[in-house]
Amino acid sequence: MHCTRKHGYNDAMPSTTSTDQRPLEYRIERSNRKTIELRFLDANTLLIKTPMRTSQARINEVLQLKAAWIAKTRKLKAEVWPVPKMLDREPILFLGEWHRLQIINTNGKKPDTQTPGIIKISPALAAKGTATLVQLYRDTMRELSHHYADIYTKRWNLSHNGIRISGARTRWGSCGPNNSLNFSWRLAMAPLLSIENVVAHELAHTVYRNHRAEFWKLLKKMMPRYEEGQAWLKQNAHRLPVFPD
Ligand SMILES: [Zn+2]
pLDDT at 11: 29
What average pLDDT does range 41-69 have in this prediction? 93
Classify residue 39: in a domain, yes or no: yes
Q: Looking at per-residue confidence, does 11 or 81 come out higher?
A: 81
Ligand 1 centre to CA of 242 (Å) is 22
Share of the chain above pLDDT 90, in %: 77
For residues 72 and 47, membership in a common domain is answered with yes
Task: Say if residue 33 is in the same domain as residue 123.
Answer: no
The number of folded domains in the chain is: 2
Residues 22/43, Cβ–Cβ less than 8 Å: no
What gap in Å lies between CA 183 and CA 230, rounded to an integer? 15
Q: Per mean pLDDT, which range of 122-131, 157-166, 236-245 is the poorest?
A: 236-245
| Ligand 1 centroid from CA 61, angstroms | 40
Percent of the chain topping pLDDT 70: 91
* C-alpha span between 198 and 85 (Å, rounded): 28
Work out the average pLDDT over 59-77.
92
Query: Vertex 83, ends 79 and 89: CA angle to 5°?
Result: 105
Q: What is the mean pLDDT of the chain?
A: 89
- Residue 101 included in any domain: yes
Between the CA of 231 and the centroid of ligand 1 the distance, in Å, is 15
Kindly state whether residue 194 falls inside one of the protein's structural domains.
no
Does 99 lie in the same domain as 67? no
Question: What's the pLDDT band for 108 if we cut at 50, 70, 90?
Answer: confident
Residue 191 lies in a domain: no
Instruction: Tell me which residue range forms the domain holding 6.
Output: 2-13+82-128
Rounded to an integer, the average pLDDT of 30-56 is: 93
**Would you say residue 183 lies in a domain?**
no
Could you tell me if 8 and 98 lie in one domain?
yes
- With cut-offs at 50, 70 and 90, classify the pLDDT of residue 21: low
Instruction: Specify whether 69 is located in the same domain as 109.
Output: no
Residues 29 and 121 in one domain: no
Q: Are residues 30 and 73 in the same domain?
A: yes
Report the separation in Å between the CA atom of 50 and the middle of ligand 1, taken as the mean of its atom positions.
Answer: 30
Residue 105 lies in a domain: yes
**Distance of CA 158 from the midpoint of ligand 1 (Å):** 16
pLDDT at 124 over 80: yes
What pLDDT, on the 0 to 100 scale, is given for residue 9?
26
Same domain for 94 and 61: no
- Is pLDDT of 6 > 50? no
Answer yes or no: do 88 and 118 share one domain.
yes
Instruction: Measure 43 CA to ligand 1 centroid, in angstroms.
Output: 25
38 and 70 together in one domain: yes
42 and 57, same domain (yes or no): yes
Structure-model confidence comparison of residues 104 and 8, the more confident one: 104
- Could you read off the pLDDT of 156-166 as tens digits, one per residue? 999 999 999 99
CA distance 171 to 182: 10
Does 18 have pLDDT greater than 90? no
79 pLDDT band (50/70/90 cuts)? confident
Q: Say how many Å lie between the CA of residue 33 and the centre of ligand 1.
A: 30
Q: Calculate how far, in angstroms, residue 199's C-alpha sits from the geometric centre of ligand 1.
A: 10
| Sign of the alpha-carbon torsion through 199, 40, 8, 121 | positive
Query: How far is ligand 1, taken at its centre, from the CA of residue 91, in Å?
Result: 32
pLDDT for residue 170: 85
Residue 8 CB coordination number (10 Å): 10
- Map residue 98 onto helix, strand or coil: strand
Say how many Å lie between the CA of residue 201 and the centre of ligand 1: 6
Residue 132 to residue 134: CA distance in whole angstroms: 5
Q: Is residue 165 part of a domain?
A: no
pLDDT at 20 > cutoff 90:
no
Of 103, 128, 153, the one marking the end of a domain is 128
151-165, 195-209, 229-243: least confidently modelled range: 229-243
CA 237 to ligand 1 center in whole angstroms: 16
**Distance (Å) from CA 144 to ligand 1 centroid:** 19
**For residue 220, what pLDDT is reported?**
98
Instruction: Report yes or no on 115 lying in a domain.
Output: yes
Strand locations in 8-104 (E): 25-31, 37-42, 45-51, 91-94, 97-103
Distance (Å) from CA 141 to ligand 1 centroid: 18
Q: 59, 78, 97 — which closes off a domain? A: 78
The DSSP annotation for 127-163 comes to HTTHHHHHHHHHHHHHHHHHHHHHHHHHHHT---S-E
State the Cα–Cα distance between residues 14 and 183, nearest whole angstrom. Answer: 26
Report helix angle 213-222 to 192-204, nearest 10.
130
Which of helix, strand or coil describes residue 207?
Answer: coil
Q: How far apart are CA 219 and CA 226, in angstroms?
A: 7
Residues 6+ apart with CB under 8 A from 232: 1, 96, 190, 191, 193, 194
pLDDT of res. 70: 95
- Is 52 in the same domain as 9? no
Q: How far is the CA of 211 from the centre of ligand 1 (A)?
A: 6
Ligand 1: centre distance to CA 87 (Å): 37
